[in-house]
Amino acid sequence: MSDIFALNFDGLSSPSISLNIAEAAQGRHPFGWGFAWYPNDYQGASVAKDPAARNAQILTEALMDWENFRSTVFISKILGAAQGYTNHETQPFSRSFAGRDWIFMHNGDLDKMNLYKLHANKSRFLEPLGTTDSEIAFCYLLGLMYESKARKLADIEPEKLETWFMELDKLGSADIVITDGLTLACYQGTQSQTPIYFTRIKPSSETKIFNSEQVSLEINDPRDSYRTALIFSSSKFKHGNWQQMQPGQMIIAKRGAIAWNNKAGEEVAPIYQSLQASPGQKNLKDKHRSLQQLQTNQSAVIQDLNPPQALPSITNIRSITHTQDGQALTYKMYEISHTSRYSYSEAVEHSTHRFRLQPLEDKVQDLLVSELSVSIEGEEIHYEDVFSNQCVHYSINMPYKELTISATSKVKIFQVPPDDYNLSSRRTSMPLVWMPWQRQMMNAYLLPEELPETQLSELTEYAMSFAERNEYHLVNTLEDMNQTIYKDYDYIQGSTSLSTTPFEVYAARRGVCQDFANLFICLCRLLSIPARYRMGYIFTGSNYENKLQSEASHAWTEVYLPYIGWRGFDPTNGCRVRQDHIRVACGRNYRDATPTSGTIYRGGGLETLAVEVKIKEVFSGV
């Protein structure tokens, strides 16, 4: 009997881990165990092991009190009784390669004679210390890494790594976990006699305690209150939503998220999306992800085409009628009506208002009709604010108890070709470096919200987890943040207020579109990516799960990408901004872009607001 156990967190964590071998080892044969982690995420790993132990309590108590027991990766193996292993034959195994310590563990038995034949690399560096089939398999994999000139696990394409595991799988039972401290890969053999279970835990107000026959796990350190983690175990825990891996299944984990999964239907992080088979469309969320995948694939196809020898002089995006691969670009037309009704318990004698209800007009969005009516007469001033929003300043000097503002618009939204990231000036990696004058112009979109330093530090670590698990790839990091907020946070109306901060949304993991946009903005700015708040509308039709979004104004985030411009990300729906998003106003935050706002100088009493938004698609085509 052997048990394997692996943890992958999105940030440094100090879980309380106890190996429950004392009760199981009541017979005359001792058990063996090994435990490995990367203190403070350094390249060097710490490995503790005992091939013949009656009790691991002293070790686990020391680990819980040790301040260096903080890591994003923890793996452990408990060996069956009477194995007779020595210390250098006890798993997990550690070996330095390409400037990092690699950790490996294996559950099962492989044909050692054929394994030696498979492991043809004669380098002394790759000679095993012990005599186990597991360490030979470890050296075999590192030999393939060396031959592929890879320095990290992420340098190997997942399909290629899978073929390496499959070669070992032919020689017997091959349940494998391997990590370089940055990425963790887990493979369930097709001939395995022991199942492997996995689950993903998210922050909650409840203490996270998990118990199996061999391992007790408790995430109770106050510093780890907001951690997410992937857990793999050959023993199913009593609590949690555990899934059993299928024979031949390989999962790659990075910073608490599934980065790649060779079995359809599982969510993946953007770093490996282009390599992942399209998941089955079980629900509307899967449809959104499939559309997102389609956009990624279209970009890849366009990038593979040879650029034309001569480019036409284009002065307007609408003069482009087709993509480079010949697909016709379409436009959609919408009619929007927005009505806000204010009611007051006492008469309002004097008030001023600001309306931002006119959709913008640019190369992508064409404004055909825009009308505004106010039920009470007042002084009306039209102007463009510092964010280029079309605003109306309205001053009322007569008493009223009800005020109705109605705006109707008609817009065309033009389709645009996917962005081409092949051009050298279009940065695809972080950190972004801004010229002094660029930083000065973007300063309003680079400063995060003023929060306590401890909260900003926690949010910075959260933002960095996305960058690190996506190898600092700019667009993949943004896609990952966008989809993670969509998947991990609950859309609950009334759960927040206008004063809710990004940290409070992060801690509670719930909110509405405004909250998700503010959190996304804060994370971007902490990574030195300019981000702004965008208010507008979304046509949900039959394609969106939460149709309440179309009954009020919608909010999302726009980020500035070098040599591309502002691009929209909608974390409420986990998608890029497309032709069903109608842009109205933007700014640093909600207050800069709110549809209606104002000040009551006299009277009013209790205020009641009712908002009604209707969007109708009147045309879709070329």
Domain of 554, CATH number, reads 3.10.620.30
Range of the domain at 168: 3-263
In a domain, 299, yes or no: no
∠ CA 461-588-477, nearest 5°, is 35
Alpha-carbon distance of 295 to 291, in angstroms, equals: 6
**Which of 61, 74, 1 has its CA nearest to residue 32?**
1
Exposed/middle/buried for 25, CB within 10 Å: 0-12, 13-18, 19+? Answer: buried
CA–CA distance, 33 with 91 (Å, rounded to integer) = 7
141 within some domain = yes
Q: Are residues 37 and 144 in the same domain?
A: yes
Could you give the C-alpha distances from 104 to 99, 222, 255, 317, 546, in angstroms and in order? 16, 30, 18, 53, 44
Buried/exposed code over 357-396 (b: 16+ C-beta within 10 A; e: otherwise): bbbbeeebbbbeebebebebebeeeeeeeebebbbbbbeb
Give which of 414, 441, 432 is closest to 528, Cα–Cα.
432
pLDDT in tens, 243-262: 999 999 999 999 999 999 98
Q: Are residues 600 and 512 in the same domain?
A: no
Reported for 40-49, long-range contacts at CB under 8 A and 24+ positions apart, including other chains, are 40/12, 40/68, 40/70, 40/71, 41/12, 41/71, 41/72, 41/181, 43/99, 43/100, 43/101, 43/181, 44/101, 45/94, 45/101, 45/103, 45/181, 47/92, 47/94, 47/103, 49/87, 49/90, 49/91, 49/92
Q: Which residues pair with 52 in a beta bridge?
A: none
Q: Identify whether 517 is part of a domain.
A: yes
Beta-carbon contacts of residue 532 (< 8 Å; ≥ 6 apart): 445, 521, 557, 558, 559, 560, 566, 586, 587, 588
**Same-domain check for residues 552 and 608:** no
Residues 244 and 355 in one domain: no
> What is the per-residue pLDDT across 589-621, written as a single tens digit (0 to 9) for each?
999 999 999 999 999 889 999 999 999 999 887
| pLDDT at residue 314, as a whole number | 39
Domain contains 96: yes
Does a structural domain hold residue 288? no
pLDDT value for 22: 54
Mean pLDDT lowest among 26-40, 198-212, 339-353, 508-522: 26-40
Distances (CA, A) of 594 to 189, 356, 382, 591: 55, 7, 16, 6
Residues 160 and 79 reside in one and the same domain: yes
Same domain assignment for residues 222 and 184:
yes
Largest CA distance in the chain: 95
Whose tokens are 């960095």? That residue is: 464
Domains held by the chain: number: 3
Residue 119: the pLDDT is 75
What's the pTM value of the predicted model, to 2 decimals? 0.82
CATH of residue 404's domain is 2.60.40.2250
Reading the block at residue 438, the tokens are 């660029």
- What is the distance, to the nearest Å, from the Cα of residue 401 to the centroid of all Cα atoms in its chain? 47
- How large a percentage of the chain has pLDDT more than 90? 56
Q: Is residue 277 part of a domain?
A: no
With bands split at pLDDT 50, 70 and 90, how would you rate the model's confidence at 121? low
**78 and 182 share one domain:** yes
603 in the same domain as 565: no
CATH code of the domain in which 43 resides: 3.60.20.10
The verdict on 373 and 522 lying in the same domain is: no
- Tell me if residue 434 falls in helix, strand or coil: coil
Break the chain down into helix, strand, coil percent, rounded to 5. 25, 35, 40
- Residue with token string 């401890």: 454
Share of the chain above pLDDT 70, in %: 81
Q: How far apart are CA 568 and CA 419, in angstroms?
A: 13
Q: What pLDDT is stored for residue 587 in this prediction?
A: 96
State whether residue 584 is helix, strand or coil: strand
Single-letter code of the amino acid located at 255: R
* Statement to judge: residues 573 and 463 lie in one domain: yes
Which residue is listed with tokens 């204010």? Answer: 342
User: Greater confidence, 499 or 292?
Assistant: 499
pLDDT tens-digit profile of 397-428? 999 999 999 999 999 999 888 888 877 777 78
Six token digits for residue 447:
């400063």
Does residue 162 sit in the same domain as residue 61? yes
What CA–CA distances, in Å, run from 72 to 16, 536, 597? 13, 39, 45
Q: Are residues 408 and 447 located together in one domain of the fold?
A: no
Are 187 and 176 in contact by the 8 Å Cβ rule? The answer is: yes
Sign of the Cα torsion 49, 138, 101, 123 reads positive
Highest-pLDDT range among 207-216, 226-235, 259-268: 226-235
Would you tell me how many other CB atoms lie within 10 Å of the CB of residue 493?
A: 11
Q: Which residue has the tokens 């759960």?
A: 495
Residue 123 gets the label, from left (phi > 0), alpha (psi -120 to 50) or beta, of beta
Ranges 70-79, 304-313, 355-364, most confident: 355-364
